Structure 1
């Protein structure tokens, strides 16, 4: 009985072990299944994150003092840059001789004698004694128109107006006082036509007479380039009497041109 029981146990053991052997044999001819990792999970890999860059403090660049590298601006060099001195061009010396001609106007009036209008032309040659003083001779021509008041025309039979012509010679002098301002003087000797009145009849007639006329005043000069200029002159007529041929005051516009 015991022998039979032992045999049965052995047979059952063999039957139970057979599938396991068969499975092992079959698995040896096939791809081995991956084995699960039974090890404890590893710590996660820490990926380094980029750190924000801290702003670097700016370095203070020392600024050189203006007197070290950059010169201070001056009235001669507003930009502060010193340029090499440029050679100055020598100004051309003015000519000693110049042509000086003028055009003059004069007017005077009073209710008893009427009015007088005069026009004059006087070309001259000037000579520069110094840079500020000039003198010279010239010619003079003047035209005069006399207009008489109404009572003289009715009472004495005067004409409404009379025209006279005069020609003469003169000398002038100029002295520059300050920049464009100058003093001007003239002395003229004129062979002039004059009005005369007959004491018996009261009638007017004309005659020729030599008249001297001193003139003195001041003027202003406007330069036009290196050789030409224009003057305006206001002169006082010292011959302000019966022999006057210009009226009061005498205003002249003159033109100056250097002769080379």
Structure 2
């Protein structure tokens, strides 16, 4: 199982490197006078609040999300950077690593892994999106020997808010479809306290 995990994890980063080194879609060299120049196209609002649909096709986005939960002297932290690509104005996909840490009285927990995600923006000029991702994580509790492998399949929806220029903030509400399968593994961190399987994430993205 560990060997399979590291093969999948290495593959995720290989794809990420390929995406990073791939040039952004080339702009046409000859354009009608009524068509904006390449520099003008790059200056087109990445996130539009003026009623125009944002121009995101062919662009990369960097960012990710963070998660945290503090209750009853327990601490949970999560860091998940992402690299994404807009295949169209309505469809985005990408991947990135994930890191988690949890501490409570008498024990601690750490996990690392990777994820791939898809986002669909179904309605122009409305920054709501559908979100789905697949996570594979290797985790270890300080009270146990060795590491365990678990998987998650969170799906849900979110909202993206422009911060000006090409920066945006997003908030997603997700439910892990694999929660029931892996809940007995002991990897129940990151869920909203009192709502097993529910995940709330927020973060900031910068588009290119």
User: Larger relative CO (CA 8 A, sep 6+): 1 or 2?
Assistant: 2
Question: Distance between the aligned counterparts of 1:125 and 1:242, measured in 2?
Answer: 32
C-alpha contact 2:97 2:113 (8 A) present in aligned 1: yes
Question: Distance between the aligned counterparts of 1:137 and 1:101, measured in 2?
Answer: 10
Residue ranges of structure 1 left out of the alignment (5+ in a row): 1-86, 109-113, 148-159, 196-203
Aligned to 1:101: 64
C-alpha contact 1:194 1:209 (8 A) present in aligned 2: no
Please, which of 197, 202, 205 is the counterpart of residue 253 of structure 1? 202
C-alpha contact 2:108 2:141 (8 A) present in aligned 1: no
Question: Distance between the aligned counterparts of 2:89 and 2:161, measured in 1?
Answer: 16
Runs of 4+ in 1 over 3 A off after TM superposition: 87-91, 105-108, 114-118
Question: Distance between the aligned counterparts of 1:214 and 1:106, measured in 2?
Answer: 20
Shift of 1:194: 3.9
Work out whether 1:229 is the aligned partner of 2:168: yes
Shift of 1:234: 1.2
Work out whether 1:167 is the aligned partner of 2:112: yes
What's the Cα RMSD here? 2.8
Paired residues, number: 147
Q: Under a length normalisation based on structure 1, what TM-score does the superposition of the two structures give?
A: 0.50
**Cα deviation digits, residues 57-98 of structure 1 (max 9, x gap):** xxxxxxxxxxxxxxxxxxxxxxxxxxxxxx998762435111
Residue ranges of structure 2 left out of the alignment (5+ in a row): 1-33, 45-54
Aligned to 1:137: 95
Instruction: Look at both structures and tell me which one has the larger radius of gyration over its CA atoms.
Output: 1
